[in-house]
Amino acid sequence: MATNFADYKNIWVYAEQRQGKLMNVALELIGEGYRLAKEISEDTQVCAVLVGNNIDHLADECFAYGAEKVYVENATYTEKEDGTFDYDNIRLAINEKTKLITIQRSK
C-alpha cells in the first residue's frame, strides 16, 4: 500500500546538541529532511526542535542546513543532575508552543 504524503504536513527533526554544539547527525537529518520535503511538495517545511541551555545561537546553524522553522526550548527547568533532560516536560512545552500532536507509548 502506497503512503499518501498529502496526509502529512511537515518534516520534524530533533536537532540533538551537546554542550552547545549540534551533533553532525542532526545537521545531516535536517539536510535530508529538506530534500525530502521538496519531493513531497513546495509547501512542506522542515522544522527543527532544539533543546538545551543557552542554545539560541544554534538556530542559525539549523537554518543554514535547510530548516525553515526552528523551535528552541531553553530547558534549564528540566535539566537533571546527570546533564540529561526531562523529555516529558520538554515535549509538553513544545506541544503547547507548536500545537504539534505527539503519541506516546503507554508504559
24: pLDDT strictly greater than 90: yes
84: pLDDT strictly greater than 60: yes
71 in Cβ contact with 99 (< 8 Å): no
Rounded Cα distance, 40 and 101, in Å: 20
**pTM above the 0.75 mark?**
no
pLDDT digits (tens, 9 = 90+) for 28-81: 999 999 999 999 888 889 999 888 878 889 999 999 999 999 988 776 655 666
Q: What is the pLDDT of residue 60?
A: 95
Q: List the alpha helices (DSSP H) in the chain.
A: 24-40, 58-64, 87-98
Rounded Cα distance, 102 and 58, in Å: 24
- Residue 105's pLDDT band, with cuts at 50, 70 and 90, is very low
DSSP track, 77-99 = GGB-TTS-B-HHHHHHHHHHHH-
Of 64 and 4, more confident: 64
How far is CA 3 from its chain centroid? 23
How many other C-beta atoms can be found within 10 angstroms of the C-beta atom of residue 80? 8
